Chain A
Amino acid sequence: MIALFIDFARRFARNRAALVGLFLVLVVIGVAIAAPWWFPRNPLRIVGRPEIWPFVSPRYPLGTDSLGRDIAAMTAYGARTTLLIGLCASLTATIIGITVGATAAYVGGWVDELLMRLTELFQTIPNLIFVLTIVSILGQKIEYVTIAVGVVTWTPIARLTRAEFMSLRDREFVQACRAMGMGSLRIMFGEILPNALPPVIVLSSLVIAGAVLFESAVAFLGLGDPNVTSWGQLIGDGRTLIRSSWYICAVPGLAIMLTVLALNLVGDGLNDALNPKLRDR
């Protein structure tokens, strides 16, 4: 087990870009965790003069926004929202995707047909429009945003899980399980799933990046949860001031970009490490 992990880590580390990505992700996670200690008071509180540029005042290294709130504090707290929603949405998408894909492949027949049509349906619906519709009907709450993003991002995971299951379904070890009289659910989740998981994990990690982008778009449009800070929301708030203080938009935007970039790089690295066969394209 440990040897396996070391082998995995070595292959991951061979991808230099993935290491950079991992470092960046750890930094963002660190900031998210440290935010309450670093900025113990409410980040949405007004601290000083509005529109102080970054690197001007040592007390507000990233400046203040139009209301005089500390951009550094808001960005740090925004990391929490963004990561939380990204992770939970990806988890939602993964659970839906694995369930749909595994069932479709294992049961087959009309169930497979129906579930694949469903997948197609969710691929056809313009996803951001769907997210906005859900959020506007159910209400602007962080849970609903998370679920909505999960609901529009599960389709690739379902397709991949289905394909993996299809190829594993008829292998000897599965047939052996069946011959032993093992139940369908136990075979599906106990025997096949662990073998199908590596590529699915890679895709899930990439879905986090996509979810972060979705969440930021929703928040940017002002449809996120108004009670929590998020990077998209900061950009949305700063938009009116681009003539005088464009940095208000620039800082959280860079944060989104670097986070998504880092997540993508880590995803690529995981791909190299977990699917060595697929690596040499």
Chain B
Amino acid sequence: MRRIIIRRLVQIIPLIFAVIVMNFVLIHLAPGSLFDVMTSEQQITDPAMLDQLRHTYGVDQPVTVQLAKYIWSVMRLDLGYSYRQNAPVFDVIMQQLPATLILMLAAIGIALLVGVTAGVMASIKVNTIWDNLISLGAVFFFAAPSFWLGIMMTVMFAVKLGWFPVGGMRTIGVDESAIGAVLDVMHHLVLPATALGLFYAATFARVMRASMLEVARLDFVRTARAKGLSGGRVVLAHVMRNAMLPIVTLLGLQLGTMLGGSVVIEAVFSWPGIGSLLFDSVMSRNFPMVLGVLILGSLLVAVCNATVDLLYLRLDPRIKAR
């Protein structure tokens, strides 16, 4: 098992390497020199600092040396310095990362809970009004842009009804007991996580429904019923367990999209994660930060993908045979 884990993690390395190279290419595609890109609009006027930067980025050297330097610095987790936050890019991103992780985890949780439940319901009540309603809902949430859904939910539940805060992650100036803080964050989390999660819930519901119907026809389900198991137990212990496998695969494939989606949702709800950071950095043309987010975001997705693969390994014993 440990060997498999290590092997899977090693596969990430060339991937990240490629992301770094691509970053470099992107910078060179940009109008103006690398140096211009890396320092533009950061209001650096001190000539000594400019010199130092020139040296760090190796502007005066050939492209291959620049690439080598760039790769070397990224390998040491040196993603550059952000003058806007006055801190190394890596530190700033790490500081913002937990908020994004919380948002993503909550969204995945909601997507799985809502999507799987709806898919199972639709498959059990196949071709009834319930099935049709769920399918209709899935089609709608599959088409609604998450940011728009977020805004409409804000209008409804924050502005009109006042059930949830309009944005942010914490209420400012409230008592700081641990449980109180957690509840406060959860209260702020409901709307953004739902807005982000519903699209994926719609996907999961469609896939789960099809997958359930597919599995329900298999021989071992008949065996389970022949044992005298109740309908509920057959569905939970036998049909669902197998029908979940495509969902896990799908989840792995969609993590990248989800991290992208969280950028927009964070912008809508002023959620202080790397999405807001990216948005701010793009707006202020803070390129070291933008590229840093791209690299670390890719790394995050790659690691999550590996985790999902390993999870799949646990869920489907047949894979291990390979």
Contact = CB atoms under 8 A, between A and B. Distances in A.
B213 A281 contact: yes
Nearest to A131: B260
Given A121-B18, A123-B253, A138-B30, A128 B147 contact: no
A232 B185 CA distance: 29
A213 B22 CA distance: 25
Interface in A211-226: 213, 216-217, 220-223
Interface stretch (B170-178, B226-234, B240-248, B298-306): B298-306
Interface stretch (B54-62, B65-73, B77-85, B282-290): B282-290
Contact of B256 (A127, A134, A239, A249): A127
Contacts, number: 150
B140 interface: yes
B258 to A, nearest CB: 8
Nearest to A128: B260
Contact of A129 (B148, B159, B210, B297): B297
A59 interface: no
Interface stretch (B1-9, B108-116, B149-157, B314-322): B149-157
A223 B256 contact: no
Given A121-B19, A127-B257, A281-B214, A132 B282 contact: yes
**In terms of DSSP, what is the predominant structure of the interface of chain A?**
helix
Given A125-B19, A128-B257, A261-B139, A253 B152 contact: yes
**In terms of DSSP, what is the predominant structure of the interface of chain B?**
helix
Interface residues of B, number: 52
Interface string B1-30: 000000000000011001100100011011
Given A126-B257, A221-B279, A249-B151, 5 more contacts: A121-B19, A125-B19, A128-B260, A134-B26, A281-B213
Interface of A: 117-118, 120-121, 123-139, 209, 213, 216-217, 220-223, 232, 235, 239, 242-243, 246, 249-250, 253, 256-258, 260-261, 264-265, 281
